[in-house]
Structure 1
Amino acid sequence: MITTAVNLQAPLYEALAARDGLGVGATTLAFACYVAGIMPVLLGLNGLSERVGCKPLIIAALLLCLVATSLTLIVPGLVTLGAARFLLGIGTALTSAVAPTYMHRLLTGGDSSMATKYVTTSTAMGFGLGAAVTSLFIFHTPSITPPSLWLYLGAGVVALVAVSTLKNTAPNPNKCAMLRLPSYPPGTLGYGLAILLAWATVGLVIAILPSALHAHGLTAWSGFATFGICSCGVLFQPWARALRPAHSTVLGLVILPIAYTVIAWGAVQGMLVAVLVGTVAASSACYGFIYLGGLKGVLEIAKAASTQVSAGYFLMAYIGFSLPVITTGALIDAVGHVAALTIFGLALSMGAITTIGLLLISQARYSQHPSGISF
């Protein structure tokens, strides 16, 4: 329910911007407010669950999602969207830190890998599901306050009641530090750059694709594109787990520019099938091969410093999810969709080639000196 709220309004971005007389650049700023909410919690409230338990954080996250969705119903607009996404960022950060641990403790007798798979799958499905449901409703009746928002409020209240009946985890007497500073040991830079490129592509599809599809009367389909790039990657995760981290990440980096080219061409030409196929292919990289391969890679390198290194990995991810998207949005307002999407594609391709080189060099040095990795 928490991740479902995050992209619930994604198919409405173009309509909200048009209503307020604003462009794509303003839309991407509102979109990026999500990162402004998530980063302080991710880096500064690391040990909160050990002080209050997991359940209060899940409840707080659900309440924030309900408030955010209510705001977009009561006062629809880009400014409200920015405020709502800031709250959603806080809620997502509170949840992501505790969900795997809480799920493991609730599944009495279950192993940690099963709990992790449940959380990973439900999270990925949620990020795309909200947008897809909204698209279904605006197909029938175009609106900036579609019934999907009301439906979410009802389901969210049910989820809140259900969570309130669960047991809380006991506070941990051995509390870790609240501040989690990111760390980049030798060998992690390539993985960080890979996830930056991957999530930049995800952010572009969510925030900018609706405006490109609008020229062809296909805005309502943008929710399914969001579902494709956010949720379909889970189908490829078993293959990603079977590969070595560097090989998985390199495979994702090969797929990503090709998939983006298909998406951008389809959006500019109004070829819906190309857009949808491209988003599924991109998702295989963004939430499959690159995401899992990169995270596994940095954790293998980190060893005892896993908390700081994972923070560094996700810091790179959220930088990609915001700054390149904002820059591309500003470019679209200045030079148009074709030029801006082409520039993004060239930067993505050059970044992917550079990152593949870093990973291959790092892997070669690791094979020669397993005790230490360069770069």
Structure 2
Amino acid sequence: MNASQRHSWGLAFGLCLITLAVNLQAPLYTTYAQLSGYGAGATAVAFSGYVLGVLPVLVAFGGLADRVGRKPLIIAALALSMLATLVTVLWPNLIALGVARLMMGVGTGLASATATAYMTELLATADSRSPANRVTASTSLGFGLGAALTSLFLFACPSVTPGSFWLQLVLAGLALIVVWRLPDPAVRIEQAPLLRLPLFPAGSLPYSFSMLLAWATSGLVIAILPSVLASHDLQRWSGLSTFTVISCGLLFQPWVRRMHPARATGLGLLVLPLSYALLAWGASIGSLAAVLFGALGASSACYGFLYLGGLSAVTAMAGAQKARVSAGFFLFAYVGFSIPVVVTGLLADRFGADMALLVFGLALLAGAAVTALLIVRSEAFIAQPSYG
């Protein structure tokens, strides 16, 4: 393995540990809420602290990496992931979870602002897709792996501070050393503007809105589903459902890369509401198999068809403004990751989980149908069906 490959794997290791911390506490959301005397609405608000951290960083500090370099942002993100985990080790309750999620959001925002550019510089390859694929794979794996590890530790020994928390601290400390030793080849531009407002090219909004729907669904699985599963004594499996709805989307990404972006997005908008219906039905009746198969289908849409298809589509429209267009795309994604989840949590407190899941499902179906119609009627949809 040459130096550039070794360095790129070191960065991938660091990115995986940053995102691993984000959903590390997911299987304990219901436990923290019960210990703190709160319901699903408050749990969703604490969950959305992540978005309050990530969005200002992505928008207001998009140019920070050009000023200070790539490596310092990754190091800061790793340090924040460790601090967030330590907060929930010391204070395992819902308020501390909200604070930790806020710190994780800031850390993820810092890493997101520079990860692809840093990976491109370390790999030094002419293939622009390879660095992006490595970043996508490492971060997607981390997002799901944290919840899965906590579930495994909870199976072995129930605790509000399971061994997965300590494992993250140890591995993130190791990743900190690895990233510290990486080169930082970017030329720093001291006068680079910090503020990079999102940009939405003509025809891009349906693809951005499809990501809102996708991440609203995955956010619902992470934040609300554990309380529904707990009513059927299946809470211990919530980490596996989180891992399935996030990381299993990696299995579909090679297929999506061979599809035209418009067709991939259209297929994702068909798969998403059907998968959600199976998942919600399984959660309501206590069928773990239905939940996991529904989560797998949703993952294929959320982190496969809609993620890669939508991002490829808007990137093709971006021209020289790829950073600003990408920021706009993820702005929609993170809005979906917060507001619909909070509203569904409040509905669950007021009218019960089954009614909340039904209302979300109807809204998802309507949103997917309208968005798919706009994409199908666009010129891009009737373009060449594949890249060859």
Common fold by TM > 0.5: yes
Residue identity matched to 1:183: L
Matched residue, 2:171: 155
Residue identity matched to 2:119: M
Residue identity matched to 2:153: F
Matched residue, 1:261: 277
Matched, 1:29 2:45: yes
For 2:336 and 2:152, the matched residues in 1 are separated by 29
CA 1:112 to 1:364, structure 2 compared with 1: closer, same or farther past 3 Å? closer
For 1:163 and 1:214, the matched residues in 2 are separated by 39
Q: What SS class does the counterpart of residue 35 from structure 2 fall into?
A: helix
Superposition map of 1:1-375 within 5 A: 1-108=17-124, 111-173=127-189, 176-363=192-379
For 1:51 and 1:176, the matched residues in 2 are separated by 6
For 1:170 and 1:310, the matched residues in 2 are separated by 20
Residue identity matched to 1:2: I
**Offset at 1:108?**
4.9
Percent identity reads 53
Deviations 1:48-102 (A, max 9, x none): 1111111111110000001000000001111100000000001111111211222
Residue identity matched to 2:37: G
CA 1:365 to 1:268, structure 2 compared with 1: closer, same or farther past 3 Å? closer
**Offset at 1:175?**
5.3
Deviates more, 1:273-282 or 1:162-171: 162-171
Residue identity matched to 1:168: D
Q: TM-score, normalised by structure 2?
A: 0.92
Contact 1:65/1:91 (<8 A) preserved? yes
Deviations 1:289-324 (A, max 9, x none): 001111111111221232222111111111100000
**Offset at 1:135?**
0.2
For 2:361 and 2:204, the matched residues in 1 are separated by 24
Residue identity matched to 1:79: I
For 1:99 and 1:364, the matched residues in 2 are separated by 29
For 1:152 and 1:364, the matched residues in 2 are separated by 43
Deviations 1:207-255 (A, max 9, x none): 0000000011111100010100110111111111111111100000000
For 2:78 and 2:101, the matched residues in 1 are separated by 14
For 2:146 and 2:380, the matched residues in 1 are separated by 43
For 1:32 and 1:95, the matched residues in 2 are separated by 18
Count of residues paired in the alignment = 367
**Offset at 1:168?**
2.2
Q: What SS class does the counterpart of residue 100 from structure 1 fall into?
A: helix
**Offset at 1:118?**
1.5
Deviates more, 1:169-178 or 1:137-146: 169-178
For 2:189 and 2:90, the matched residues in 1 are separated by 43
CA 1:141 to 1:194, structure 2 compared with 1: closer, same or farther past 3 Å? same
Residue identity matched to 1:237: Q
For 1:365 and 1:297, the matched residues in 2 are separated by 11
Residue identity matched to 2:339: L
Residue identity matched to 1:218: L
Instruction: Show structure 2 runs of 5+ residues with no match.
Output: 1-16, 384-388
Contact 2:67/2:190 (<8 A) preserved? no
Q: What SS class does the counterpart of residue 122 from structure 1 fall into?
A: helix
Residue identity matched to 1:207: A
Q: What SS class does the counterpart of residue 304 from structure 1 fall into?
A: coil
Contact 1:47/1:175 (<8 A) preserved? no
For 2:205 and 2:130, the matched residues in 1 are separated by 29
Contact 1:246/1:363 (<8 A) preserved? no
**Offset at 1:351?**
0.6
Contact 2:226/2:235 (<8 A) preserved? yes
Q: What SS class does the counterpart of residue 377 from structure 2 fall into?
A: helix
Q: TM-score, normalised by structure 1?
A: 0.95
For 2:219 and 2:366, the matched residues in 1 are separated by 18
Contact 2:375/2:381 (<8 A) preserved? no
Residue identity matched to 1:48: L
Contact 1:251/1:289 (<8 A) preserved? yes
